[in-house]
Amino acid sequence: MEENVNVTELFGCDVFNDAVMEERLPKKVYKELKETIEEGKELSLEIADVVAHEMKEWAIEKGATHFSHWFQPMTGVTAEKHDAFITAPKENGKVLLSFSGKELIQGEPDASSFPSGGLRATFEARGYTTWDCTSPAFVRHDSAGGILCIPTAFCSYTGEALDQKTPLLRSMEAVNKQALRILRLFGNTTAKRVTPSVGAEQEYFLVDKEKWLKRKDLIYTGRTLFGAMPPKGQEMDDHYLGTIRQRVSAYMKEVNEECWKLGVAAKTQHNEVAPAQHELAPIYAPVNIAQDHNQIMMRILKKVASRHGMRCLLHEKPFAGVNGSGKHNNWSLTSDDGVNLLDPGKNPHENKMFLLVLACILKAVDEHADLLRVSAADVGNDQRLGGNEAPPAVISVFLGDQLEDVLDQILKNGEATHSIKGEKFATGVTTLPDFRKDATDRNRTSPFAFTGNKFEFRMLGSQDSLSNCNVVLNTIAAEAFEEACDRLEKAEDFDKELNALIVEYTEKHKRIIFSGNGYSKEWQEEAKRRGLPNLPTMVDAIPALTTDAAIDMFEHFKVFTKAELEARAEIQYEIYAKAINIEARTMIDMATKQIIPAVVKYTTVLAESVNQVRAAGKTYNVSVQEKLLEKTSALLAESYEALNHLAEVTAEIEKKEEGPERARYCLDVIMPAMTELRTPVDALEMIVDKEMWPMPSYGDLMFIL
């Protein structure tokens, strides 16, 4: 019998959280640390020494031997360098265990091997990590033993952010300041902080490890570069919310337990639309914590899969032809005294503060749609966005019937007098209770959808960091709030100015609202008529980072400097070209060494069959073998030609100038050449003897676990 899990005891047991700090730290130290965490007060080295000591004692009890500053460079994954707690051996040959305040607060990893986009010349290798005490330290157990992980920010010698964390914290400050002004305007005097909260729904695929090992494309690129569709895909809609397979539920159980130990409130799990696709969502948290937790969760998803003989694929589009994976970013703004600025209440038409916030968000999203788009730009996501399952690359906002109706009233009559209510819905079955419908249905095709008391940004890719899109959301909201507050604070007639603002913003930015089918072709055309930007690929989206509007805004709110933005753009181009280059080389490798040799063997078998059957007797019919041989040989020749072409154009990549030119070349020349090779190879997979095909098929990968 399995042991029962005591979830309340398990939850957070490996986290140096507030409860642990309160229990273990001297009162005075605890108080000072709390002031640092909550009010940003500077932490003295003296206090840090005490905290570090207690943290070490606690970590050792938890089995830790090392500590590590844990940070999030611009690679999209986390980085760490482990240091043992041991001091130099004494004369008697013994060591002590120590951890100082200085080691807690600051680290100095060599920054030269992380992407910096030219922010740091190679000879200036210094980079610093500094403790982000707003996110708790934790002990992680894996094959390296117990590691005390200390969440940190990472910056260069000259102070520029080299990570995903620093700008996120800066953007939280920006939106906090401006959102507080809104609350004050509406008479709230108690709130001290407004924090963006995020709940991220994480999608992923699971495949068998042995099969994964036979797919070089999965190993090197995270997605399949070849693969014909199996007889069955996702057309039966029988996987979504279906019964979870035993092997997968055992996996999910362990994932949850590992998450809970580290304080990640893993809550909802289910099968997703595509075969072998699943989802896990934690309960929402302040965005910087949500960001750390999402990184922790992605690592756990991978680590536990490995223990269960599986691989967890976090790529946005591991398989062509079925849904890809996203990471829905549910975002709201909540004050410490319990106000959710995105909560419309029962009667949105009367909730002027909500209507102002809503109008500001429409304005923000319309004016900076390109920035939201680039925040979800990722090489893998290019394969997913605009497909039949993911939001299109055009940004629009879905509000739902109720809010759209309120805004309509405002536009027509200058004010709104009523809100549509959800009707009572009779089930028609006496034993089932009737229920009240929500006033608004959902829209699954919108990239930015209002869902009751939060916005859901659905464009983000599954392996992306939560940072970029929330940096953008926080900052564009801050900008719109600031402008509105500037006007309202000096208004002679507050109510009049408030109404005028709501009308003006709604009128001017209503083009961003769209409730129809975002997957449809008509919407692409309609969006064009409305003048909404359509940036279909990552390469098209990157320039949004460095427009004047972006630089002005980010510099104004001290979220990014111009240099930091330029660096980020440069890194994005570099990542794009490198990823496509790896994909192309992987295809060349697989086609040259595995696929073409296998097909050659198959043609030989066919040819031998023709000859041998003929030799056995003149009258036997060999037309099938002959037809197959003809078809296979033709596709083989086509594949070979495409392979040579891909090899030629790939050899040119390095010759293109780094940056936009090289990325554009990869998009315009390499990608089509990859498709040209894939097409005949996938056709071959459908006719070549399965025993001879050199790798597991889509069917093997997705249906047999």
423: left (phi over 0), alpha (psi -120 to 50) or beta: beta
- Cα 556 to Cα 154, 177, 561, distances in angstroms: 22, 13, 9
Which residue from 201, 158, 142, 165 is spatially nearest to 79, judged by alpha carbons? Answer: 165
Please state, in angstroms and rounded to a whole number, the distance separating the CA atoms of residues 492 and 503.
Answer: 18
Compare residues 161 and 342 and give the one whose CB is closer to ligand ADP: 342
> Angle between the 494-509 and 467-489 helix axes, to the nearest 10 degrees?
140
Minimum distance, C-beta of residue 403 to Mg ion, in the bound complex (Å):
18
Minimum distance, C-beta of residue 648 to ligand ADP, in the bound complex (Å):
46
**Residue 98 burial (CB count, 10 A):** 12
Compare residues 66 and 328 and give the one whose CB is closer to Mg ion: 328
Compare residues 152 and 334 and give the one whose CB is closer to ligand ADP: 334
> Using CB atoms, what's the residue nearest to ligand ADP?
199
Q: Which does 109 bind (CB under 5 to 8 A by kind): Mg ion, ligand ADP, none?
A: none
Compare residues 116 and 443 and give the one whose CB is closer to ligand ADP: 443
Q: Which does 268 bind (CB under 5 to 8 A by kind): ligand ADP, Mg ion, none?
A: ligand ADP
Size of the site for ligand ADP (CB under 6 A): 15
Half-sphere exposure of 439 (CA within 13 A, CB side): 20
Q: Is 268 in the site for ligand ADP (CB under 6 A)?
A: yes
Q: Which of 332, 463, 506, 697 binds ligand ADP (CB under 6 A)?
A: 332
Query: Which range binds ligand ADP by CB under 6 A, 23-31, 275-283, 348-356, 427-435?
Result: 275-283
**Residue 657 burial (CB count, 10 A):** 8
Compare residues 107 and 392 and give the one whose CB is closer to Mg ion: 392
Q: Which of residues 326-345 bind Mg ion (CB under 5 A)?
A: 328
Compare residues 281 and 577 and give the one whose CB is closer to ligand ADP: 281
Which residue from 697, 175, 159 is spatially nearest to 477, judged by alpha carbons? Answer: 175
Please state, in angstroms and rounded to a whole number, the distance separating the CA atoms of residues 637 and 628.
Answer: 14
Q: Is 283 in the site for ligand ADP (CB under 6 A)?
A: yes
Q: Is 330 in the site for ligand ADP (CB under 6 A)?
A: yes
Minimum distance, C-beta of residue 466 to ligand ADP, in the bound complex (Å):
11
Compare residues 151 and 326 and give the one whose CB is closer to Mg ion: 326
Q: Which of residues 178-217 bind ligand ADP (CB under 6 A)?
A: 197-199, 201
Minimum distance, C-beta of residue 240 to ligand ADP, in the bound complex (Å):
12
From the number of C-beta atoms within 10 Å of its C-beta (0-12, 13-18, 19+), residue 505 rates as buried
Q: Is 446 in the site for ligand ADP (CB under 6 A)?
A: no
How far from the centroid of its chain's Cα atoms is residue 159's Cα? 26
Q: Is 454 in the site for ligand ADP (CB under 6 A)?
A: yes
Minimum distance, C-beta of residue 510 to ligand ADP, in the bound complex (Å):
25
Q: Compose the 299-328 pattern: x for residues touching Mg ion by CB under 5 A, - for all others.
A: -----------------------------x
User: Tokens 């030799």 appear where?
Assistant: 615
Q: Is 269 in the site for ligand ADP (CB under 6 A)?
A: no
Q: Is 261 in the site for ligand ADP (CB under 6 A)?
A: no
Q: Is 445 in the site for ligand ADP (CB under 6 A)?
A: no
Size of the site for Mg ion (CB under 5 A): 1
Q: Which does 190 bind (CB under 5 to 8 A by kind): ligand ADP, Mg ion, none?
A: none
Q: Which does 465 bind (CB under 5 to 8 A by kind): ligand ADP, Mg ion, none?
A: none
Compare residues 218 and 285 and give the one whose CB is closer to ligand ADP: 285
Check: CB of residue 685 under 8 Å from CB of residue 694: no
Report CA torsion sign: 100, 102, 105, 110: negative
Q: Which of residues 513-542 bind Mg ion (CB under 5 A)?
A: none
Cα-Cα-Cα-Cα torsion 288, 292, 293, 296, nearest 10 degrees, comes to 170
Q: Kindly state the tokens that stand for 588.
A: 């060349």
Please state, in angstroms and rounded to a whole number, the distance separating the CA atoms of residues 600 and 606.
Answer: 10
Question: 99-121 burial, b for 16+ CB within 10 Å, e for fewer?
Answer: bebebbbebebebeebbbbebbe
Which residue from 65, 25, 67, 68 is spatially nearest to 48, judged by alpha carbons? Answer: 25
Q: Are strands 277-282 and 266-271 parallel, antiparallel or unpaired?
A: antiparallel
> Angle between the 467-489 and 287-307 helix axes, to the nearest 10 degrees?
170
H or E element, residue 254: helix 246-261
Compare residues 271 and 697 and give the one whose CB is closer to Mg ion: 271
User: Tokens 């337990």 appear where?
Assistant: 257
User: Tokens 């093997």 appear where?
Assistant: 700
Q: Is 227 in the site for ligand ADP (CB under 6 A)?
A: no
Minimum distance, C-beta of residue 47 to ligand ADP, in the bound complex (Å):
33
Residues in contact with Mg ion by the rule CB under 5 A? 328
Instruction: Point out which residues bind ligand ADP (CB under 6 A).
Output: 197-199, 201, 268, 281-284, 330-332, 340, 453-454
